[in-house]
Chain A
Amino acid sequence: MTQEPPRLDLLLALADDELILGHRHSEWTGWVPHLEEDLAFSSIAQDEMAHARLLYGLALESLGEGWDEDRLALGREPRQYRNAILCERPNRDWGYSLARQFLYDTADDVRTRTLLGSSWKELTEILTLVRMEEAYHLEHARTWFRRLAGGPVAAREHLAAGLEATIGEALAIFEPLPSEMELVTSGDMPMPSSGMLAAWLGGVGEELETVSLDYVLERHTQMGEMVPTASGEMASEAPTLSVPGVERVGGRWVHRGEFAGAGGRRGHHSEDFTALWDDLTGLYRAYPGATW
């Protein structure tokens, strides 16, 4: 896996996101303070891992001898995983996990829907199946998003705190892939990641506005210098934005430039990944060739 074919770049981004976030969701099994949600996160985890497996199966075609699904899922070095950093963050609390699931699954919905237009038939076949199952994840995320946003205040605050903590890194789901140019040219990707990001941010911005939580896309006005406005009032300088690169233009949220929490698509991860990787791959590394 030194010189990766472009298609592998795309598959590993999709599959590793599902595997790693699926692993985080599975850590809720037995711990959610609500039986239905224990089942929900466990079931979503099970689905995500199955989706990763289908995509790894397709990835094997781009790899040489000696690779199999288990080795792809569990037998790589940390820097060979291409998941977005958002997916590897620890669960913290249920509000955080829920906010992350909402942002991830809405982003994944835009991504998989776009990729149905890919010229790569085998990929579109897998994504057709995947999207039928992801529909239930989206329904789960949106149901809880609206329910928590509707109060009581403590629930709303919990959701808002989760969104504030995750939204910056959620944008980096659409960090460009290393071989994006080739993928777009070949038709494997019908549009670049920036186009999918624009579609997602526009939609999710509207969903946040519907429940008046779009402020999570803005930073509180910085304390400091006051400048006179044309009307003579004193106002603080134009508010800077909390999420790097996000601006409001013509009534819609758009992204330009830098990402927070980028690097995942190039195999650069946070320190949180090390512990997750150790846990996820420990058995595979300790007992090579183990089957279960």
Chain B
Amino acid sequence: MVRGPDDLAAEVWKALARVHDPEIPPCSITELGIVEAVRVDAGAIAVDLRPTFAGCPALDVIREDCEAAVAAVASDREVRVRFVSSPPWTSDRITPAGRAALRTYGVTPPSTDEPRICPFCGSRNTVQESQFGPTLCRATHYCAACRNPFEVFKPKLISLTPRPAS
């Protein structure tokens, strides 16, 4: 059976869905909306990725893991994986499955609703401790109901950038 470019692209997407973000192990990079595009041509497969945060130290690991995953399904072609900065990644690219996986991991998915919901007990009796956390994409919060510290995946949307102070 001859494998057409569309079949191969579908296989590449499947392979990319098995690559996980090393800083958020339960989420695949497709669930996080990191994969922007897959292009298949005669000699090569090109994958464009959008970095969640520009300074994320996991980017090199993600790129190498993608190269290995794609090469495994298309060993006859050159594999080119690169990060593109435009259009920027936004947190609304995380899929419903990705949001569910974040919650299971103990990280509240991005939202602009305040206060944040505790991923452990579901309470809204929570406060933000810091806009920063163990990784660039997470902020630290505290739940007064179950007394657990927890993390929130930072919302990142163009609409959240500062407006001029009229």
Q: How large is the interface on B (under 10, 10 to 19, 20 to 34, 35 or more residues)?
A: 20 to 34
* Residues A108-151 near B (CB distance < 8 A): 109, 113, 125-126, 128-136, 138-140, 143
Partner of A46, one of B55, B131, B158, B160: B55
Q: Which residues on the A side are within 8 Å of B90 (C-beta)?
A: 132
**Chain B 137-166 interface mask (CB, 8 Å, partner A; 1/0):** 000100000000000001011101110110
Q: Is A167 an interface residue (CB 8 A)?
A: no
Partner of A47, one of B88, B134, B136: B136
A133 touches B53 (CB 8 A): yes
B55 touches A49 (CB 8 A): yes
Q: Is A43 an interface residue (CB 8 A)?
A: yes
Report the Cα distance A49→B59, complex, angstroms.
14
Q: Which residues on the A side are within 8 Å of B157 (C-beta)?
A: 132
Q: Is A39 an interface residue (CB 8 A)?
A: yes
* Smallest beta-carbon distance A265→chain B, Å: 24
Task: Give the top 6 A-B pairs by smallest Cβ distance, nearest first.
Answer: A50-B55, A125-B86, A50-B54, A36-B130, A129-B88, A46-B55
A43 touches B86 (CB 8 A): no
Report the Cα distance A24→B161, complex, angstroms.
25
* Smallest beta-carbon distance B6→chain A, Å: 30
Report the Cα distance A43→B130, complex, angstroms.
11
A interface SS class: helix
Q: Is A203 an interface residue (CB 8 A)?
A: yes
How many chain A residues touch B (CB < 8 A): the figure is: 34
B interface SS class: loop
* Smallest beta-carbon distance B114→chain A, Å: 13
A125-B85, A125-B86 known; A43 vs B132 contact (CB < 8 Å): yes
B54 touches A128 (CB 8 A): no
A36-B129, A136-B131 known; A131 vs B161 contact (CB < 8 Å): yes
Q: Is B110 an interface residue (CB 8 A)?
A: no
A54 touches B132 (CB 8 A): no
Q: Which residues on the B side are within 8 Å of A129 (C-beta)?
A: 54, 85-86, 88
A51-B54, A129-B86, A132-B157 known; A113 vs B162 contact (CB < 8 Å): yes
* Residues B82-122 near A (CB distance < 8 A): 85-88, 90
B132 touches A132 (CB 8 A): no
Q: Which residues on the A side are within 8 Å of B57 (C-beta)?
A: 46
B158 touches A132 (CB 8 A): yes
Report the Cα distance A125→B133, complex, angstroms.
27
**Chain A 216-241 interface mask (CB, 8 Å, partner B; 1/0):** 00000000000000000000000000
* Residues A136-170 near B (CB distance < 8 A): 136, 138-140, 143
* Smallest beta-carbon distance B107→chain A, Å: 16
* Smallest beta-carbon distance B10→chain A, Å: 30
Q: Which residues on the B side are within 8 Å of A36 (C-beta)?
A: 129-130, 132, 140
Q: Is A21 an interface residue (CB 8 A)?
A: no
A128 touches B158 (CB 8 A): yes
Q: Is A40 an interface residue (CB 8 A)?
A: yes
Which residue from chain B places its CB closest to the CB of A35 in the assembled complex?
Answer: B130
B131 touches A128 (CB 8 A): no
* Smallest beta-carbon distance A66→chain B, Å: 22
B132 touches A133 (CB 8 A): no
* Smallest beta-carbon distance B129→chain A, Å: 6
A140 touches B131 (CB 8 A): yes
**Chain B 64-94 interface mask (CB, 8 Å, partner A; 1/0):** 0000000000000000000001111010000
* Smallest beta-carbon distance A149→chain B, Å: 17
Given pairs A36-B130, A125-B87, A136-B131, 19 additional interface contacts (CB within 8 A): A36-B129, A37-B130, A40-B132, A43-B132, A46-B57, A50-B53, A50-B54, A54-B54, A109-B162, A129-B85, A131-B162, A132-B88, A132-B161, A133-B55, A134-B161, A135-B162, A136-B154, A140-B132, A199-B164
**Chain A 195-208 interface mask (CB, 8 Å, partner B; 1/0):** 00001000100100
